[in-house]
Each structure stands twice: as C-alpha cells, then as structure tokens.
Amino acid sequence: MALIGKIRQKGWILIATMVLALGGFILMDIMSNSQMYSAADANTLGKVNGKDIRSDEFERYKASIYANSTGNDYQIRQQIWNQFVEDAIVREHAKPLGLGVPKDELMDLQFGSNPANLSPIIMQRFSGQSGQVDMNSLGQIKTAIEQGTLNDAQYADFRTRWSIQENEIIKQRLQDKITAMVMKGIYAPTWQSEMAFVENNQRVDYLYVRVPFDKVPDTDIKVTDDDYAAYLKENPRMFEQTEETRVLDYVAFDVLPTAADTIAIRDAAAKHIAGMTGKDDSLYVVNNNGIYGGGFKSKSSLPVSVADRLMSAPLDSVVGPYLESGAWTVAKILARKTLPDSVRARHILVRDPATAAAKIDSLKNVISSGKATFDEVAKANSEDTGSAVKGGDLGFFGNGAMVPEFNEVCFNTGEQGKLYTATTQFGVHLIEITGKKFITNQASLKAAYISELVSPSKNTQQVVKDKALELMNSAKTLADLEAKAGAMNLKLESSQPLKGADFNVGLLGSGKDARDIVKWAFNKDTDQGEVSREVFTIGDPNGGYFDSKYVVAGLRVINPKGTPSVASIKASQQYEVEIKNRKKAQLIVAKWQGITDLAAAANTYSVTVDTAVGASMMMVNTPKGGAEPRVVGTVFSLAKGQVSKPIAGKTGVYMVQPIVDLPTVTMPADLSMFRNQVKSTAQTMVRANLMNSLKKKADITDNRVNFY
C-alpha cells in the first residue's frame, strides 16, 4: 500500500508531461532554409506591428509543447503562426485598455474547483476518455507549484512546458475579454428591431421569368480589358489583397501502374503462400509487413469477391492472391467463431505509463483474492471518472465502439466473468466482461494477411518522368507550355491564388511536395511567365513509396499587395466566368428592350413564367435560381401587377411581377424578441470576425517562405 501511495503522489508529473506533449497540433522543422535570410534577418520569422516573431522562440515553443504529436506539418505551422500573430495583437490591444490576467485569476483558470470555469486549453488537454476533466492531476500540480517541489532540475522540461501553457491561457483570456467588451457595446435600436420584424413577417407572391446565363453561348460575347476594368472599379474590396499572391499554371503527369506492373505484383504476392504455410508462419508474416492474428471480421466486412472462399476454406489453408483496396492480398485462415453483437463490460483505468502496469496488477490481486469487489476498487481507483462512479460499468456497446486493444479483449479473446489487462492510448485497463448479446449469430473470421500494393514500377515511373522532362525542355515560357500542352492533348490546370506560406496547390494536394512548388513560385528569381527548370515530384498521397505525379509548372501571374491591375485579374482567370456572365446579361437585357410582358420575355429564350410564393426579405431564394437578393429586393419595391425592368442576378437575368399587394404589417408592442435577434446576430459576427479584423489592420510581415 505504501508503493501505491507513492504512485498516487508522483504520478501526476508523468500524466501532465504526457498530456502537454500530446496536446494541440504539430510543428516541424522551421529552420531548414534559414540560410536564405540576410544576416540581419536570420532569426526573424516575421513581424507584427514592429514586434519580432523570432524563429528560435517559435522552435522552442514547438519543442516544448508539440514535439511528440503527429499531423500535417505545414498545417500545424500555419496554426502556430496564427497563435504567435494573435498573441502579439491581443497583448498590444489589451495594455492600453487596462486589461490583464492577475495571478489569482490565472490560478482559477488552471486549477479552479469548478471545471466549467477552467480555461478551454486546460479542459482540452486534461480531459480523459470520458470527457471529464482530471481534477485530481490538476490538484497535484497545483500543490507542487505552491510547495515549490517543481524547482528540482529534473522537472525543468515540465516547468518550461507549463510556463508556455500559461502564456497560451493568458492570451486566450485577454482575447475573450476584448471580445466581451466589444460585444457589450452592441445595441439594437428600435428602428432596426422594427425592420427585423418587417423583414421576417412581410411576405409576397410573385411571377418571374429567369433566363440562365448558359442560354447565351460564349461565342456570342467578347470580353475586353474595359470589362475587367469596370468590374474592378465596381468591386474594389473584392480584389484588395493584404499580401502578395501568385497563380500557377501546371501540367500534371499521372503515374499509373501498367498491366505488366499489376501482374508482377500479383506474382510477388503469390510467392508469400509458401512462407505462410510453414511452421514459422507468424514470423514470416510479421517480417513481410503483414498482419498476424488480428481481430475477427464478419463476412459482411470481407471483400465481396472472396468472402465466400474465406469463410469456407479449411483452417490453416491460404487463400489468394485476391485484389482488395488496390493491393494483392493472401490470407491464411487461423480461426472462426461467432461473435456477440454487443458486449457489456466494466473497467478500471490507470493513466500513468510508468506505474500503471504495476498498479493494475495490484488491483487485480485485490479483486481476485476477494478482499474487495470490482465495483469498490473501480470507484476508489479508476481514473476514468465518468465510469468510476458507476463501479467502472460501461454498459453495452457494439463491436468497434472502443479503441482496438480494448475491443480485442471484449469481442475476440475475453470470456465473461474473467479479468483481463489491456494497454491503450489512454493508459492501462483492468477489464471484466459482464454480459454478451448474440442476435445475428454471424460467423466471423480471423486470418493472417500479407498485401502487396499495386504500384508503378521504377521503369514505369521513369517513362512518365521522361515525358514530363520532354515537355519542360520544349517549353521555355508559359506561352510555350500552353501551346505544347495543347499539341500533346494535355490538360493545363491553374492553381488558386497562392500565398508565400501556402502548402496546398490546386489538385496536387498538400504537404512537402506541393510546398516545393510554392517555394519555386515565390523565389525572388522566378519571373511572371516563366516555366520551372525542374520537374516537380508528387509522392503517393496514401504513403506508398513511389511517385504518383510529375509536374511541369509555370508562373502565370504575380498579384502584388493592395489593388491588383487589370492584367493581374485577367491572368488569374478567377473572375472570368463572372465577367462573361455580365456580358451575357447585357445581351439578354438588350433583347428584352421594350418588353413589359413576362410571357413575351419568356418566349424570347424559350423559358417559362414561374411563380414564387411567400418570399420575404429574410428568405431571398428563388425557386430555380437559388439565392438572389437583388431579385427579391426588387419585388418588394413594386406594386401589385407592376412588371420590373430586367434584373441581372447571380445565376441569370430576371423579370418579376408581384401578384399580391404588399401586405401591411402591424408592429407588435413588444419587440424584445427581434431586438435580441438583431443583437445576437451582430454579436455572433463579432465573435467570429473580430480577430480577423484586427489582423487585417495590423502591419504583418511574413518571412516564413525564406525558412521552410
């Protein structure tokens, strides 16, 4: 019992260390390309209103909090960058407002007795499998801080992680306070409340004619630079950019396995049959990256083409090769049994990986000896607080509802009434199965599997790469690339407008390979209209060890910060369809010149006169055209029977005619519901957009493209 007491006293340190190490997202190496900086900027990842974001601090943050996490490297870099930028902005605005987070408030956010009042960061990182906050571990950390027992050198890493976490909590709290101040200043005046009531309750029915833009072929219009200039002038905010963007055109050569590759891989899979039938079959399977003795699978979860063979083949026989999910697979039949449809179990969880196994063994002995019941031991010792109060009971659950190791015990290997130990991502569990339900009585199969992924051979990859090299060598400019791609019947794709820190390129996906293309596009020596002098490689997105695409890229346009030029908008092709639709609208409106009858307007393009019922200013959808606020707004400006002039909408050109008088709306004496509606809508917008607005106003310099 003394040993258990020591485990309880010290276990929180390992628990907290593991939680902090796994909390949040990942950052990866940032300094791989820092040599591109000048000496003065070698440690400056960026600036926010003149305040440096230092790459060494960025790295220290990553190393302390996120080193052991997994995820998309570049996505996490972006999220951590946002954390640093927002922290600088929040603290800059909080200081003149007199906002702060005093020590007692910070302690309450980290260790308060009411879990609902804890910082969201603490709630996220210290919640267990049941979703309950581990207040016991937090209490032990608080005691250690107050007693100064964390000052020993052995706890240095933990103190660093906790200090960084405290800064995260302070930033979040200050941001919440600033948001709350703005939201408290929002007020809905009476006139706005009355307008909201009218917009919700005033309804009108109308007839309409809609000519969709595709009724006018592209060959009937000609888009000029003046059209782009007019569009830019009318929509200046749409084009304003807070940072430079670049657009790529590229040709992607897909690398696909040939028939010969498929046959060769099938033959390679067939060679595994001999090894799987020998006495060392389990060792052979493991050594060849196979799966030996996994969980049971029902017939319905097996490949349809081979399910009957797998369920009827003799034990110890080998079936295959058969094609499953893009791989040739061979399977050795190990066992069959009928699995329950659901299981009821109870468990005791201990989280600390250093002491959990010993403690679980001790608790198992206590229960097995009859000194205490499972129910009593679970209530006193289980760290899954949600089930501990129920004596560890989890109720009935289906196959696959629990993590694999827990599921394996409950459905595959465990017997009712016996005690089992399982180690999962949450810790070590002592498990007792207390009930099983058999409803479908479906037979299940356990097998050993070895799979060989159908992938292109080295020769196939080289053949495709040679084609890409041929195109690259023949295309010195983007105009050449367009011409050559057309002559070779290859599709030229365009990227979205890319920012310097982006890691996703159109249909090419995201990650390091796409990032290499973005880095080339933003290289100071890359000019508009230039084609890359290297063929970029995109690896298999599913983790296969082969190249899935080869890419020849050209830089179509550089859009500078601020308002772009007509040439930039035109080159990006992003607004081409909308500008074409504007030209088509002009033709339709011209053709309707002098027409004041809906039927006559409909006949000009062989469309119908349709009816919309119950339209309101809050519901601006038209039955056929979707959201059309300009169209519905026009309806409310007309008298009954009055025909509108042509209206250029989002999906076509309309003419409308109300068929009822605009009803008079009697204003209620109590407008509180609509006042709250207006206020709530505004507050929701503030909550969602305040930080983005502050970022937009901030002077942010982003040098990440020079680092990775």
Q: What is the DSSP letter of 546?
A: S
Return the pLDDT at 84.
92
Rounded Cα gap, residues 639 and 642, in angstroms: 5
Strands 327-338 and 318-324, sheet pairing? antiparallel
672-697 and 73-97 helices, crossing angle to 10°: 110
> What is the sign of the dihedral through the CA atoms of 694, 696, 701 and 702?
positive
Q: Which of 231, 214, 215 is nearest to 223 (CA)?
A: 231
Note the pTM of the prediction, 2 decimals.
Answer: 0.66
Kindly state the helix (H) or strand (E) to which residue 469 belongs, with its residue range: helix 458-474
3-state helix, strand, coil in the chain (%, to 5): 45, 20, 30
Q: What is the DSSP string of 202-268?
A: --EEEEEEEEEGGGS-GGG----HHHHHHHHHH-HHHH-BSS-EEEEEEEEEE----HHHHHHHHHH
- Tokens for 119, please give them: 């910082």
Rounded Cα gap, residues 412 and 414, in angstroms: 6
Of the chain, the percentage scoring pLDDT greater than 70 comes to 91
Return the pLDDT at 155.
65
* Radius of gyration (C-alpha) of the chain in whole angstroms: 33
Q: Which of 342, 347, 298 is nearest to 436 (CA)?
A: 342
Q: What is the DSSP string of 553-606?
A: EEEEEEE-SBSPPHHHHHHH-TTHHHHHHHHHHHHHHHHTTT---HHHHHHTTT
Rounded Cα gap, residues 66 and 21, in angstroms: 6
Return the pLDDT at 15.
44
Q: What residues contact residue 254 under an 8 Å CB cut-off, 6+ apart? A: 464, 548, 549
> What is the sign of the dihedral through the CA atoms of 226, 230, 235 and 237?
positive
- Tokens for 262, please give them: 């498929």
- Tokens for 257, please give them: 């396995």
Q: What residues contact residue 681 under an 8 Å CB cut-off, 6+ apart? A: none
Distance set, CA 594 to CA 597, 600, 643 (Å): 9, 10, 12
Q: Which of 239, 266, 253, 372 is nearest to 329 (CA)?
A: 266
Q: What residues contact residue 516 under an 8 Å CB cut-off, 6+ apart? A: 536
Mean pLDDT per 10-residue run, the chain (708 residues)? Answer: 42 46 39 41 85 86 70 78 92 93 91 86 76 77 78 69 88 94 91 91 94 93 89 83 88 95 94 84 86 76 86 88 90 85 90 80 90 90 85 87 85 87 89 89 84 93 95 92 90 89 88 92 92 94 88 91 79 82 94 94 94 89 88 93 94 95 89 91 90 89 83
**Alpha-carbon torsion, ordered 377, 382, 387, 391, to 10 deg:** 0
> What is the sign of the dihedral through the CA atoms of 12, 13, 18 and 20?
positive
> What is the sign of the dihedral through the CA atoms of 673, 676, 682 and 687?
negative
8 A C-beta contact, residue 32 and residue 77: no
Give how far the C-alpha of residue 180 lies from the chain's centroid of Cα atoms, to the nearest Å.
Answer: 28
Q: Side chain identity at 218, as an amino acid letter?
A: D
Prior bond to 314 cis, omega within 30?
no
Q: Side chain identity at 25, as an amino acid letter?
A: F
Q: What residues contact residue 388 under an 8 Å CB cut-off, 6+ apart? A: 348, 378, 379, 381, 382
Distance set, CA 151 to CA 114, 144, 145, 156, 160 (Å): 28, 9, 9, 8, 11
- Per DSSP, helices labelled H in 235-354 are 236-239, 259-270, 272-277, 281-287, 307-312
8 A C-beta contact, residue 465 and residue 527: no
- Tokens for 63, please give them: 């190393």
Q: Which of 209, 219, 217, 218 is nearest to 604 (CA)?
A: 209
Rounded Cα gap, residues 621 and 598, in angstroms: 20
Rounded Cα gap, residues 401 and 271, in angstroms: 37
Q: Side chain identity at 66, as an amino acid letter?
A: Y
8 A C-beta contact, residue 254 and residue 591: no
Q: What residues contact residue 592 under an 8 Å CB cut-off, 6+ apart? A: 601, 604, 646, 653, 655
Q: What is the mean pLDDT of the chain?
A: 85
8 A C-beta contact, residue 353 and residue 17: no
